[in-house]
Chains A and B, each alone.
Chain A
């Protein structure tokens, strides 16, 4: 009787493990995910800038045109270890030059590599997941025009248990969400701003606090958060604690000057450099969106 019970328990455990294994597998998009979508390099460049690809994937301290050589190497310390941005230049061996469009789309929107592995969410695929197909195709077309670099990608410096990539499948189940954080956008302008903030510019990745497992606490959307590197804070940018006017936000995103003419600093400098390249209308849309999200208390 007892033996039968244990046999049952073992079977149940095996089924649960099998189910968990199946649920946490990396699922790429179908090979025809971007079939029939013609890529436009001009819009691709705009998407590339708004999404800030070069800010993390250019070599450390790259300036000017060197920012378009996506050799990788920048380090991102966190509670889970140090992530090192990989080479995503069009080099066929060290970069992503031999990828298909569908593999690129899987990487960017699903966090799944061509080898069928999960990427760490230091790569903000959770935000990019809502990227429009046309923008993806355009981005892919543009990135193929960039200079190749044969610099090898470095392995992440991540210890046990976070080095078990399979576990990231569980992370995705828990924290990736197909819904917009701001469910109802009150105007076309805010709808555009929502796409820019929640998807392309992935502002929430730093400005929203995370739980112990590194999942974003969307009930505190854009409320501000500790800097993952351990020192300093990323400020809140939701109404309530954050009082700038739409005009002040727009001016800051263009010039880097705060309302009292302090200057932008840290990684946000790279963000402002990108936002300054967008249209004035898009900067205004971002400001309008930031005024539409739920209030958060100042901390």
Chain B
């Protein structure tokens, strides 16, 4: 399959980021959870490649740790929310009637509720840390895609191959999984990759305001919040964390856009 240049660029950038995040800690002279009491707020040196923070922690190792959390959250939330959208949208579109009305009505309600408010109120109070934060984010991101999936399922339901399967006595879950969802694969792949970026920014924003990841865990959001106060005099902590965040979101956005171009030849090459 021909993959657009944009998708390739995004994929390459993503691969670079992942190798930096996974291999960086192995070669870094300092660990992310170490505190160097001899070096507060120092510039880059051989021992601390990107300097140290106000409290003497190694910026390079700490930021890579934060980026690991952010990428993890992005991937899990994107897969979970797109999966949720696929299941709910397909169920609503295929079943029709009351199930359809109830599910789409729930989606409308969640769309109206300000998701930032819900996440900020819920996430810090639920026990369970990172997995629960990811679940809350995923539960607030599926609605728009579910509507698109539903609309496509409704039109697919009347196609001959689906009708044939139904008349042969194949059960509804199997028909949806084997004959409906494969047609939605491109939509879901594009949506999942774009959702990674949304999730990373959402988690970063929540953590920035103190409603997301809590100490001792770090994420890019908490690091940006810590670094911005002294960014004028000591730009390293802020610049590295912000740079990694922007690159990660840029990479998945490029990938998503490129995939959309590749799947949709009418819009390709733009």
A and B found bound together? no
Interface of A toward B, CB cutoff 8 Å: none
